[in-house]
Chain A
C-alpha cells in the first residue's frame, strides 16, 4: 500500500513541476496551456455531474458564462460606472491602474465563484427534480436562454459585447499577462483536482453513484437525494464560474452567445471531453481534455473551415462507438490495474450465457 502512495507522490509532484515549468518551456503556447487548464477543470466538473451523479447536463455553460460576466462586471464596476464603460465599448477613457486591476480581478473571481454556486442552489430544487433526458434538454434550454437574454441586456453590452479591462500597461514585461493567466488557471486546476480527489475518497461520491445507479432505491435507503444533488451541482457551478472568470480576462472580450454562453463550443466540449476520457473516473476527464485539446489545436488549423464538421463527426463517432471512453476501454482490457479481481469461472459462465 505504501508503495502505491509513493508512486502517486512521484506522479503528482512530477505533474506539478511540469505544470509550473510549462510556461517557461513552451513560452509560445501559454494561451493554449491556459485553455488546457480551463478545459480540464470544465471536464472534471462536468464529470462530477454527468459521470458520477448521472445527471447529464448541457447547462454548466450557464455558470461558466455567468462567471465570465460577473468577473468583468465587478472588475469594471468597482472603480468606474459600468454602463458608461460598456457604452464606450471599453475605450481608453477609463484606465485601471495596476493595483485596481488585480484588486478587481480578485474580488471579481470571488464573486464569480460564489454567485453561480448560489444560482445553482436556487434553481437546483426545481431543475434537478427532472430526470434523464428531460434534465438534459431543460439544461440545454437554460444555457441557450441565458445567452439570448444576456444578448438583450444593455448594461453588460447587449449584442455588441463587453470588453474586459485590458491588462495594466504599467507592467512592461510582455510575458506577464500570459504568465498571470496561466498560473491563475493552473492554480484553479490544482484546486479542482484536489477537491475532486477528496470527493472521490468520500462518502459523498458513493451517494452520488447511488443516485446515478438507481435514484428511487437510494431514496428508499434513506438518502435525501435532493440535498446531495443540489450540493453536487453547486460544486460544479463554483468551479465553472471561476473558470469562466479566468477565460473572460484571458480572451479580453465577452460576447453573449459566442464567448460566454457558448453552448455550441464550450458547452459541447465539456461533455465530449469527459466522455472521451471516460466518465465516472478521476483521470478520465483529465486525459480526455488533454487529448481533445491536442487534437483540436493540431487539426483545427489543418482543416480550416471544416473544423465544426470534424467536431460533429467526432461527437457522433465517440458517442456511438466509445460511450465508455478511454478509461472504460482500458478498464475492460486491464481490469487488474483498476483493482478489480475477476473470477475466471464467473467470466466463462457469463460468456456462455451470452
Chain B
C-alpha cells in the first residue's frame, strides 16, 4: 500500500476524528429525513437544498456583522416557516401518493431552490468565519478546528432536545401517532394536516440548524445540496426509520468512510465515492433480501 494515510498513523487519527464530528452533523440531517419519511411517507430530494438555504441564512448574518454561531438559533426558526410554507404549497398534494411523485416533485423544488440561491447569494463558494481557532492534539500532529467540535456539540444538543420533545409534548405524541397509523389518529381527533405541516417544518428546522453549522465548518455553494440529500437517504436506509442511536452511528460511519475515501482516492472522487456507496448499500441490501425472496420496501 502506497498511500500516505497508511504511512502516517497520525493522519488516521485525524481522519477518524474529522469523520466522526462530520458524521454527527450528517446524522442530524438524516434524522429530519427519517422523521418526514416515517410520518408522511415522502422522500424529500430537496432536503440538501434546505440545508444549504439554512447555511445561507447564517452566512447572511455573518455578512451583517453578527456572529454566525447565532445562526443555529435564528436559522431553524426561519426554516420552520419555510418548511410549513413549502408544505402548504406543494407537499400536501404529494402525501399519500406514489413515492415516485414525491421524488419528482421535490426534485423540482430542489431545482427552484438551487437557482434562487444562485441568484440571491451568487455562485461562489463561501464560508462564514467563526474564528474559534483550532485545538492541537498529540504534539500538534492532529489539528481539530474548534468549530467542528462546536457543531458536533450543538447537533447532539438539538437531537436530545428533539427526542425529549417528541416523547413529552402533545405535538410530539400526535406526530408519533400519525406515523403509526394516520387514519386511526384522524379518527381519534388528531388534525393530521397540521401534524404533517409541523413535521415538515421541524424537518426544515433541523436542516436549518445543520446548514448553519455547515456554514462555519464546511463550505456553502448553491449546487451542493444533492450530496446532503443522498447522505441522509443512505443513513436512513441503513439505520431504519425512527431508530435514533442507529442513525447517529451510521452517520458517524458515513463520516469516517468519507474522510478515508478523501485521503485514499483523492478529494476529486469524494462526492463520487458517496454516490457509489449509496449504490453499493442498496445493491448489498437487495442481494441480502433476495436470499429470502424479499425486496426493499
List chain A positions with a Cβ less than 8 A from chain B: 56, 126-127, 129-134, 136-138, 140-142, 144-145, 148-149, 151-152, 158-159, 264, 268, 271, 275, 305-306, 308-309, 311-316, 319-320, 323
Q: How many A-B residue pairs have CB under 8 A?
A: 124
Complex: how many Å from CA A130 to CA B275? 16
Given contacts A148-B269, A148-B271, contact A133 B100 (CB under 8 A): yes
Within 8 Å by CB of B286, from A129, A271, A275, lies A129
Q: With contacts A138-B278, A149-B276, A306-B115 known, what are 17 further pairs, Cβ within 8 A?
A: A129-B283, A132-B100, A137-B233, A141-B276, A144-B226, A145-B279, A151-B268, A158-B268, A305-B119, A309-B111, A311-B108, A312-B115, A315-B104, A315-B108, A316-B90, A319-B94, A319-B104
Complex: how many Å from CA A199 to CA B94? 33
**Across-interface contacts of B93 in A (CB, < 8 A):** 320
Question: B115 to A138, Cβ gap below 8 A?
Answer: no
List chain B positions with a Cβ less than 8 A from chain A: 43, 90, 93-94, 99-101, 103-105, 107-116, 119, 226, 230, 233, 237, 266, 268-269, 271-272, 275-276, 278-279, 282-283, 286-287, 290, 295-297
Question: B94 to A130, Cβ gap below 8 A?
Answer: no
Chain A: CB-nearest residue to B283: A126
Complex: how many Å from CA A248 to CA B230? 29
**Across-interface contacts of A132 in B (CB, < 8 A):** 99-100, 297
Question: B111 to A308, Cβ gap below 8 A?
Answer: yes
**Across-interface contacts of A323 in B (CB, < 8 A):** 101
Question: B111 to A264, Cβ gap below 8 A?
Answer: yes
Within 8 Å by CB of A141, from B116, B268, B279, lies B279
Chain B: CB-nearest residue to A143: B275
**Across-interface contacts of A313 in B (CB, < 8 A):** 108, 112
**Across-interface contacts of A145 in B (CB, < 8 A):** 272, 275-276, 278-279
Within 8 Å by CB of A312, from B43, B99, B111, B278, lies B111
Given contacts A126-B283, A129-B287, A319-B108, contact A148 B275 (CB under 8 A): yes
Q: A37: shortest Cβ distance to chain B, in Å?
A: 25
**Across-interface contacts of A140 in B (CB, < 8 A):** 230
Q: A321: shortest Cβ distance to chain B, in Å?
A: 8
Question: B268 to A137, Cβ gap below 8 A?
Answer: no
Chain B: CB-nearest residue to A307: B115
**Across-interface contacts of A134 in B (CB, < 8 A):** 237, 282, 286, 296
Complex: how many Å from CA A131 to CA B110? 23
